[in-house]
Amino acid sequence: MSVFPGNFQPIDQIQDLTIYSHEGRLASTLVRVFERTQKITKESHTRINYKSRNTLLVSSKRNEIEEREMRLLVEFESAFYNLSGLLEKLPEGIKRNLCYLIKDREYHKCQLCASELSEESNNETESTHMMKEEDNASEGHMIKEEDSASEASLNIIA
C-alpha cells in the first residue's frame, strides 16, 4: 500500500505511452490489471481504499469485502467490459489488442466487437439469404414431385 500526500489528484488523461515499445505490451499489462480485479470475489478479504476512472488501490483485510466496495470494483471493471472511459481514448491498435485479449469474457461488449459482429451478421445474412434461395429452388422442385398434402405441411414447416 502506498501513502500519498493530501493533495493527491487522480490522473484523468492518458500518460505518455512511449514506454510501451509495442501496442501489445500495454494491452497485456491492462489485461493483467483486469485479471487481478477478476480474482476479487465477495469472499475475498480485500479492502478497496481508492477508486478513480483509472486507479484501483486495494489492500488485504480480515473481513470479507463489503457490498459498497464490490460496487466500486464493478464500476472499475465495466471500463474493461465496454472499453469505455479512459480506455476508449487509447490508440486504436491498443484497443484492438485489448479487445482481442478479453473478448471471451462473459460480459465483454465493446463497440469494436459490436461493429465486428454486425459486419459478420451482415455477411452471414447475405450468405444465408443466398442459401435460402438455392434451398427454395430445390425445395420447389421436390414439392412438385410430392402430393398436395405433403406440400401443405412443407409450407407450414418452412
- Over residues 11-42, the pLDDT tens digits come to 554 444 444 456 677 888 888 888 999 899 99
* pLDDT value at 81 more than 60: yes
Instruction: Indicate whether 76 belongs to any domain.
Output: yes
Which residues, in sequence order, are bridge partners of residue 50? 57
Instruction: Indicate whether 104 belongs to any domain.
Output: yes
Domain range enclosing 128: 111-158
Q: pLDDT at position 94, please?
A: 85
**8 A C-beta contact, residue 9 and residue 54:** no
Instruction: Indicate whether 2 belongs to any domain.
Output: no
Residues 125, 87, single domain; the answer is no
Q: What is the pLDDT of residues 110-149, one digit of tens each?
A: 777 766 655 555 555 454 445 555 555 544 444 444 444 4
**8 A C-beta contact, residue 144 and residue 154:** no
Residue with cell 479512459: 86
Residues 82, 123, single domain; the answer is no
Question: Is the model's pTM score more than 0.95?
Answer: no
Residues 115, 57, single domain; the answer is no
Distance, CA of 5 to CA of 148 (rounded, Å):
86
* pLDDT value at 79 more than 50: yes
Long-range contacts, stretch 6-14, CB < 8 angstroms, 24+ apart: 10/52, 10/53, 10/54, 10/55, 11/52, 11/54, 11/55, 12/52, 12/53, 12/54, 12/86, 13/86, 13/89, 14/86, 14/89, 14/90
State the pLDDT confidence band at 60, using cuts at 50, 70 and 90.
very high
How many domains are there within the chain? 2
